[in-house]
Amino acid sequence: MHTVVVGTSGVTASDVLAVARDGARVELSAEAVTALAAARAIVDTLAAKPEPVYGVSTGFGALATRHISPELRAQLQRNIVRSHAAGMGPRVEREVVRALMFLRLKTVCSGHTGVRPEVAQTMADVLNAGITPVVHEFGSLGCSGDLAPLSHCALTLMGEGDAEGPDGVVRPAGELLAEHGIAPVELREKEGLALLNGTDGMLGMLVMALADLDMLYKSADVTAALSLEALLGTDKVLAPELHAIRPHPGQGASAANMLAVLKGSELTGHHQDDAPRVQDAYSVRCAPQVAGAGRDTMTHARLVAERELASAVDNPVVLPDGRVESNGNFHGAPVAYVLDFLAIAVADLASIAERRTDRLLDKNRSHGLPPFLADDAGVDSGLMIAQYTQAALVSELKRLAVPASADSIPSSAMQEDHVSMGWSAARKLRTAVDNLARVLAVELYAASRAVELREGLTPAPASRAVIDAARAAGVQGPGPDRFLSPDLAAADVFVREGALVAAAETVTGPLQ
């Protein structure tokens, strides 16, 4: 099994994906253990002094003015975890919780938190044992970080609350720790606070969304190319020299992908036949511009994610010169903004895909295709309601594109009077990504059927490879009406698992 070694300088997106999705093991580097011990020594020195130090010998948030005596400090750390583990609602997905725990471990290992090496090792042990704390949908305002979700994870380290074992069964966390020989941690000064104060949940979801969208944007280029073929459109608009004079990188990449898929097609270029067209509709002609803008949005979001993956997000932080200083680095605004930005791009990509699907089904605009791609229109309804489903998904995506980060709600007796809502932005982006895959699945279903209905014209080899792979995967072709939901479900799996892109790449080579 792949092992990810956590050092002091952060982690990569591929590290997050390996741990969150693939169950990779986690190890602490010798450098990290040394840095943990050095920072802890600073905290122990400050804890022994009579002067109050925030997070070490004081309360938290609006209660930070109270100095806590040494005999109450262990109780203080336990209490902050217990009281902050106040989430409600459905359980959060296992991969999100594993990303959450791993990214908190990343910051702990930076040597800026003052957490003891044994606490960090316990975090790694819990991940490696496949124990997943029960974390709930609601509870984070994205400032100070993802407090409630991280608190539920810290509660598991203490042997309290509920967690899911590697067998998928939820049980008391103490029982699971005991079964795997993991001793619950006894938190000391600053450690409870250090386990809660980060952007780890929203960052983990951003990293996973970017990985999913990288594949879905390639999928969108393929389905757009199939639709262009089915509509007998022209591929001249994809010429590299046209995109070079408006040099947005994403636009050029999308156009190149579409051109690669369409190479060798006998369906393109018929726009001057029986019903001449000067140019194709925007949803066909401008596909690279819209998908390309989304790709460039992803590039910006990836830059933000990379910076955050290299960050140590905590409050207060331990500095190399021995100071422990309060700061505002836990604020989720940088991550929240790009999460919302991506949701806007996703909604627009889905919207243009739905417009192409609608065009394929409308006999007045499909250039010779049967109404709704039906076998016997009137007796058969064809894909009429598949487009309804797609339209409903697009409408939902437009609602999900409303930015969470534009909102703020004061908390903690007005001490935390401006919050990022980054967790909420991340949660709605996950839903948006799922819905985008469904929208593209419907376009694939319609476009592949339409291409096959163009009798006497041979599609591009890449298109044929996609259609053949889809049919082999249970995505059925033209014919009389049948129970449609299973077909659409098969198309959804075909898209979201990357089989669509893989099929095209058997002919085109790697798409951009």
- Active-site amino acid positions: 54
Q: Where are the alpha helices (DSSP H) in 129-262?
A: 147-157, 173-179, 191-194, 200-230, 240-244, 249-262
Q: Is 67 helix (H, G, I), strand (E, B) or coil?
A: strand
**Sign of the alpha-carbon dihedral angle for 157, 159, 160, 161:** positive
Tell me how far apart the alpha carbons of residues 31 and 293 are, in angstroms, rounded to a whole number: 41
Q: Residue 110 has what DSSP assignment?
A: T
State residue 137 phi and psi, 5-degree precision. -60, -40
Tell me how far apart the alpha carbons of residues 5 and 491 are, in angstroms, rounded to a whole number: 38
Q: Which two tokens stand for residue 321?
A: 């010169």
Q: How far is CA 361 from CA 100, 299, 344, 385, 445, in A?
A: 44, 34, 26, 11, 12
Contact 405, 425 (CB under 8 A): yes
Q: Which two tokens stand for residue 74?
A: 């262990």
Q: Which two tokens stand for residue 331?
A: 């604020």
Distance of CA 261 to the CA centre of its chain: 27
CB-side neighbour CA atoms (13 Å) of 499: 19
Tell me how far apart the alpha carbons of residues 189 and 285 are, in angstroms, rounded to a whole number: 61
Helix axes 200-230, 287-309, angle to 10 degrees: 160
